[in-house]
Amino acid sequence: RALDWGAVEYLAKPVRMTALAEKVRASLATDSAAKATATANDTAGTFGDMSVGGGPGMRRIYEMLPRVVASDSTVMILGESGTGKEVIARAVHEHGKRKNGPFVQVNCAALVDSLLEAELFGVVKGAATDVSERPGKFELAHGGTLLLDEIGDMAAATQSKVLRVLQERVLQRVGSNKDISVDVRIVAATHRDLEAMVAQNAFRQDLYYRLNVIRIELPPLRERLGDLELYTNFFLKRLSERTGRKVTNLTADALKVLQSHPWPGNVRELENVLERAMVLSSGSVLDFEDLPPLSASQRSDGGLAYRLPEEGISLEVLEKDLIVQAMDRSGGNKSAAARLLGLTRRTLGYRLEKHGLGNAEDSEKEEP
């Protein structure tokens, strides 16, 4: 009887059941959308204090880092200056087995050969006039991690001594023949092409293979511009905490200006540009007018950003074409277009009028 009455009630209230079905359908749709959003957001993330983008190059690094920090193997980090090699090195240390030990770094390009050896291996008293005994970076990093930054600039004689430490885990201070045991994890970093240097006998092949156990290659910022907004937000948050300036975001026009720059200084340059803009701005949102002028004349490898064709080119035609592109990209905003071209607003107005793209109101007749 109860079953029959339930069936009657079900048939007697189709409107309620239809509404319930719609509610369930809407709930499922919302759940699917949430999962899709989570999947999209999962393409980028952070590893410690490091912002990781969603591009293929950085995504591969992000996926391998947990396995890297779980090991104690030597790591070699390659990438242009300013790509974040030191940040990766610190992340490897701070999340690894040696996180409670020291993190020591030495810039191999900053010291002449004799000083670098003393810096790395230490010296004994009397090794030279007025020299007192002191340990080197290898000893100071005992139980922790030693970052050999710009190792591609290390002299051949020093390379051989570093190789011995890596092979035998012992060193001798300058002026001594006594072996000292050390236990360190080595992270080497360089912006140079070590494989090419090995081929040219400018870098020891055996040392290269000792270092090239786990290889991490950081792409330049110009190859991960899709992640630029992620990095910008990351730096704005960190800079706000550091400077006390509450700048939370930047406008679409400002982002377009940043995305049009080739970033020869890579991530380090981006952070410096944002810090300068934040300090000098007055609002809580950065606009393109708050950004400093960005020069795009050369790439970080020293090559020219634009190669003159063999057959030559008309500067007038090229200039007009670039102005049209800048105006199109900025949505007709002349100030934003001027920044894209590295010009003042007045200079752009003059050139718009010269090419028949503007009128007399766009300039003051004379190019500044």
- What DSSP string describes 40-59? HHTTSEEETTEEE-SSHHHH
Q: Which has the higher per-residue pLDDT, 46 or 334?
A: 334
Q: What is the mean pLDDT of residues 106-135?
A: 85
Measured between alpha carbons, how far is 157 from 173 in angstroms, rounded to an integer?
15
Nearest CA to 187 out of 75, 68, 72, 92 is that of 75
Region of residue 279 (left: phi > 0; alpha: psi -120 to 50; beta: else): alpha
Question: By mean pLDDT, which of 39-43, 124-128, 179-183, 342-346 is the weakest?
Answer: 39-43
Report the interhelical angle of 56-70 vs 85-94 (nearest 10°). 30
Using the predicted structure, report yes or no on whether residue 58 has a pLDDT greater than 50. yes
Q: What is the mean pLDDT of residues 147-175?
A: 94
Residues 350-363 have pLDDT tens digits of: 888 888 887 656 55
Range with top average pLDDT, 71-85, 276-290, 291-305: 71-85
Please, are residues 363 and 353 in contact by the beta-carbon 8 Å criterion? yes
Using the predicted structure, report yes or no on whether residue 118 has a pLDDT greater than 60. yes
Q: In the chain, what is the straight-line distance between the N-terminal and C-terminal CA atoms, in Å?
A: 95
Nearest CA to 339 out of 291, 268, 284, 283 is that of 291
Residue 9 in tokens: 């009630």
Please, are residues 290 and 281 in contact by the beta-carbon 8 Å criterion? yes
Nearest CA to 216 out of 52, 102, 100 is that of 52
Nearest CA to 136 out of 173, 81, 83, 186 is that of 173
* pLDDT value for 21: 46
Q: Which amino acid would we find at residue 240?
A: S
Residues 79-98 have pLDDT tens digits of: 999 998 998 999 999 999 99
Sequential DSSP letters for 103-168:
EEEEETTSS-HHHHHHHHH-B-TTSSTTPPPB--HHHHTTTSEEEEETGGG--HHHHHHHHHHHHH
Q: Which amino acid would we find at residue 123?
A: V
User: 299: pLDDT confidence band, cut at 50, 70 and 90?
Assistant: very low
Using the predicted structure, report yes or no on whether residue 38 has a pLDDT greater than 70. no
Residue 201 in tokens: 């006998």
Cβ-Cβ contacts under 8 Å for 257 (sequence gap 6 or more)? 288, 291, 294, 336, 339, 340
Residue 320 in tokens: 């007009």
Residue % of the chain over a pLDDT of 90: 38
* pLDDT value for 275: 92
